[in-house]
Structure 1
Amino acid sequence: MSDYGARPKKPMSAFMLWMNSTGRKNIRAEHPDFSVQEVSVKGGEMWRAMADEHKIVWQESASKAMAEYKEKLEKWNAFKEHQTESFPHIYEAPLSSRFSKTNQRPTLFVYDSKDEAMAPICRTCFSKAKCFH
């Protein structure tokens, strides 16, 4: 996945585009003592009260960003499927998640040169005896 990297990030909505560009600045200018939550609430009220003609600019840019996102996501999914078919061993679950599916505690198996056997060792205290962690 070196060509496409991580999954594409979902674009912002029209409201969030408006809030980040002008809405938050205008609210902060009018009400400098507002908290972050109060600014968000006031922004929602202003957005709902805004005329549709003013929203069109933000809605068009949001829909354009969503179209680009869907295109990137489609390419990313196709690439991911190709990688999974070619290299299925890359997508195995990490070791920690394998242990979380069982009731057993994770143990580390280390070769013991004295008795030439594999012995479970607690990862917390490195003891071969049963521990109470």
Structure 2
Amino acid sequence: MHGTDPNAPKRGLSAYMFFANDNREKVREENPGISFGQVGKMLGERWKALSDTDRRPYEEKAAADKKRYEDEKASYNVSQHPCLFFISPC
């Protein structure tokens, strides 16, 4: 049985997810009683309306988080399968 290792690194967030995390509460405050689905729809509309300049900080965060994930994944893979990454008897 294959499961997800709870110690595995978490994938990097997308630029949109950083934007959504920063703006979700504001959308809820501006629209009391709004459904979860409507919050997502409004966030998507706001994301699409952002200029390239306004998107840039979120894209930079996403790039940094992708690098973090790749670095953590490389270390994790070595810790899980050291014989595959080093030339030494195991």
TM beyond 0.5 = yes
> Secondary structure of 2:9's partner?
coil
Determine which structure has greater relative contact order: mean sequence separation of CA pairs < 8 Å that are 6+ residues apart, divided by chain length: 2
Aligned residue in 2 for 1:72: 72
Matches within 5 A, 1:96-111: none
Q: Offset at 1:83?
A: 7.1
Aligned residue in 1 for 2:81: 81
Structure of greater Rg: 1
CA distance in 2, matches of 1:25, 1:56: 21
Deviations 1:65-87 (A, max 9, x none): 1101101101111111127895x
The list of structure 1 runs, each at least 4 consecutive aligned residues, that deviate by more than 2 angstroms after superposition, is: 83-86
Aligned residue in 2 for 1:60: 60
Q: Offset at 1:31?
A: 1.1
Amino acid at match of 1:50: L
Aligned residue in 2 for 1:8: 9
The CA RMSD measured in Å over matched residues stands at 2.0
Counting helix residues as a fraction of each chain, which structure ranks higher? 2
> How many matched pairs?
81
Aligned residue in 1 for 2:3: none
TM-score by length of 1: 0.55
CA distance in 2, matches of 1:83, 1:25: 47
Gaps of 5+ in 2: 1-5
TM-score by length of 2: 0.79
Aligned identity (percent) is 26
